[in-house]
Structures are given as C-alpha cells and as structure tokens.
Amino acid sequence: MSETAQFAKPSWRDGMELEYADLIARLEPLMPCLEIPLHLPWIDAINRLKKERGAVIMAHNYQSPEIFHGVADVVGDSLGLARAAADCKEDIIVVCGVHFMAESAKILAPEKTVLIPDLEAGCSLAASITAEDVRELKRQHPGVPVVSYANTSAAVKAESDAICTSANAVQVVEAMGSDTVIFLPDEYLGKHVAKQTGIKIILWHGHCEVHEKFTAQQVRHVREAFGVKVVAHPECPPEVLEEADFVGSTTAMGKWLEREQPEKVAMITECSMSDNLKVQFPHTQFIKPCNLCPHMQRITLPKIHAALCEMKHAIEIPADVIAGARRALDRMLAIGRREPA
C-alpha cells in the first residue's frame, strides 16, 4: 500500500484526537472541521519522523495552518527564519517556504542538510533578477552599494553588499553609509523605503505576484463595507499603502495587532498570514481580501513527509556563491543585532 493510500482514510477515533487535542482546538477556527481528520495522520507521522531524523521544521508565516501549527518547530518571517538557521543545532533543516528561504538556510548553515519539500516552490521576485543583472547595475553605478531583498537567489545575494527583509530594509539601507544605494528587486518596497530615508534609492522593477494584485479600490471598498482597520505589506503598490492604517512586515503586522487590538482588520497580504494570526488574536475579526501565494501552497504535509522519508530535495550551492552570500547575510544579521527590526 502506498503512503498516500495509507493516510487517505484516517481513523479519527483511534486516540489521536486525545494526543492532539490542543492542536485540534487551534485548527478548528481556521479550517473546515472535516479537513482536520485528513491532516492529523500526516501531522502525527511527520512529528514522529522528524524526531527520528533529528530534524527541525521551519515554516514561513504564509504556510497553511496545518503546517504552521501542526508540524513547524520554528515559525516566522524570512528574517526570523534566517536567524534560526544561523543558530540551528539540528543536522537536518526542512524549510517550509519558498526556494530562496531554503537557500538562505543553507548559506547560513552550510554544514547542515537543508531540504525543501518542493523544488518548484519559487518566487516571482527572485525570478525577476539574475546575478548578471546585478553585475551590470554595478558597472552602471560604480561604488554604489547594493542592498538586495531576501527574496532573491543565492547568486544574487553573492553579488550584493547586504541583504534585507521588509522588517529591516530601512535600517540596512541606512547602515550602508552611502548617499545612494541600489535596492533590489522589489520596486514597491524600494519606494516605501525611499519615503522613510533621505538616501537616494536606485530601483529595480521587480514585483511580488501576490501583492501587486491588490488595488486601492479594493482597500476603500473593504473599509467602507466592513468598517475595518487596514494593514498592508510594503510589497503592495504605493496607492494601496497610502490607503492603509498601518504598513509593515509580517512580524510588524503581528506587533501592531497586539498593540492596537482592533475589532476588525483587513490584512492586505497573503491569505495564510491572517489565518495563522487568528489563533493569537481570537477576538479580532479578520476580513479578506487576500491573495494566496501559489508557490507557498506547493508545500503540503505529504510533501514534507516525503522530504523526511527520502531526504529530498537537498539544497546545494557552490562554495564561492555561499561565501559571497554569507558575507551579505551576515551583514544584515549584524545590523539586526544593533537595531531591532
């Protein structure tokens, strides 16, 4: 019998509901109750297998609730996962996120085995620029430091002076000690950074396929129809950010919710972000619109189980690329230790 067939029709009344009672209570408000019995045997199998392997599972905030709450040992935004990879003690890291996040883990922990459950879990921003593009920009602007968003390939990171996330982009740009900085690849995040600093920003025209779809009209409609507070990610178009009550990274959004405790909120970002925050803020009503990231959704419980069973797909990066990218990532982490994100 195949593993898929083995877990296709789980027995709900086998004692597992007692072992996972707390998890079931967290998941019930987040998904149709009939889905939970389908997920639970996979969750149990993954949790047992990761202990046997000595593995740690890291999940981005955009992962679906059964992964985020069910099997992840470490959760957070790309900055949080990068820091966790740098400090990781386990020999095997399973990254439940997109490819550049798995590469970042390998760069910061090159001696570890880093697995990604689906090699096709990519990123439109990372795909928008190549290492040769960065080299050409540096030829056009000699001496100007390059700050690359974390949503880039290892090869692009290796050509950069420092990496940033949406949480620390302003701090990293200002730490370059230059009156001009090349900022890659997200145009909208770069414009948002430029509004908060006097430094001249040279932009690349990359966009996130999830966040660029939002419109100012959508934001106005949801505010008028539901009387909500609006929180937006800085990868959204500028006209969307202008309509928002708060603009910030995924981590900053959570801190804002904790501080403001709104009755209703619309999270203008990836859908799973609000799904996972519902557990932490049960008294806040989360009103959509939101967009799903098709790449994040490629990561599933069966694929995580297969990754641990077969030790696939291992991230491999040339040593010279690791060295260059590590230098840029370490610079970001050093700035983060000096200035909170």
Instruction: Render pLDDT for 174-231 as a digit per residue (tens, 0 to 9).
Output: 999 999 999 999 999 999 999 999 999 999 999 999 999 999 999 999 999 999 999 9
Q: Tell me, yes or no, whether 203 and 324 share the same domain.
A: yes
Nearest to 171 by CA among 307, 332, 329: 332
Counting residues of the chain whose pLDDT is more than 70, the rounded percentage is 94
User: Residue 108: CA atoms inside 13 Å, Cβ hemisphere, count?
Assistant: 27
- Cis bond upstream, residue 313 (ω within 30): yes
Q: Tell me, yes or no, whether 166 and 200 share the same domain.
A: yes
- What is the reported pLDDT for 19? 87
Instruction: Report the number of distinct structural domains present in the chain.
Output: 3
Q: Tell me, yes or no, whether 60 and 98 share the same domain.
A: yes
- What is the reported pLDDT for 337? 60
Q: Tell me, yes or no, whether 132 and 184 share the same domain.
A: yes
- What is the reported pLDDT for 235? 96
User: Residue 313: CA atoms inside 13 Å, Cβ hemisphere, count?
Assistant: 15
pLDDT in tens, 318-327: 999 999 999 9
Domain range enclosing 253: 211-287
Q: Tell me, yes or no, whether 148 and 109 share the same domain.
A: no
DSSP symbol at 270: B
Residue 2 pLDDT > 70, yes or no? Answer: no
Longest dimension (CA), the chain: 67
Amino acid identity of residue 149, one-letter, is Y
pLDDT in tens, 21-40: 999 999 998 888 889 999 99
Coil/strand/helix, residue 101: helix
Q: Tell me, yes or no, whether 156 and 185 share the same domain.
A: yes
Q: Tell me, yes or no, whether 143 and 222 share the same domain.
A: no
Coil/strand/helix, residue 188: helix
Residue 8 pLDDT > 70, yes or no? Answer: no
DSSP codes of every residue in 297-340: GG--HHHHHHHHHHT-PBP---HHHHHHHHHHHHHHHHHHHHS-
C-alpha to C-alpha distances, 320 to 106, 324, 325, 327, 334, nearest whole angstrom: 13, 6, 9, 11, 21
pLDDT in tens, 104-162: 999 999 999 999 999 999 999 999 999 999 999 999 999 999 999 999 999 999 999 99
Q: Tell me, yes or no, whether 154 and 112 share the same domain.
A: no
Tell me the CATH number at 128. 3.40.50.10800
Q: Cβ-count burial of 261 within 10 angstroms (0-12 exposed, 13-18 middle, 19+ buried)?
A: exposed
Number of Cβ within 10 Å of residue 137's Cβ equals 17
Q: Tell me, yes or no, whether 183 and 265 share the same domain.
A: no
**Residue pointed to by tokens 């010279």:** 320
Q: Tell me, yes or no, whether 27 and 79 share the same domain.
A: yes
Residue 5 pLDDT > 70, yes or no? Answer: no
Least confident of 12-21, 181-190, 252-261: 12-21
Q: Tell me, yes or no, whether 334 and 187 share the same domain.
A: yes
Average pLDDT over the chain, rounded to an integer: 92
Q: Tell me, yes or no, whether 144 and 280 share the same domain.
A: no
Residue 103 pLDDT > 80, yes or no? Answer: yes
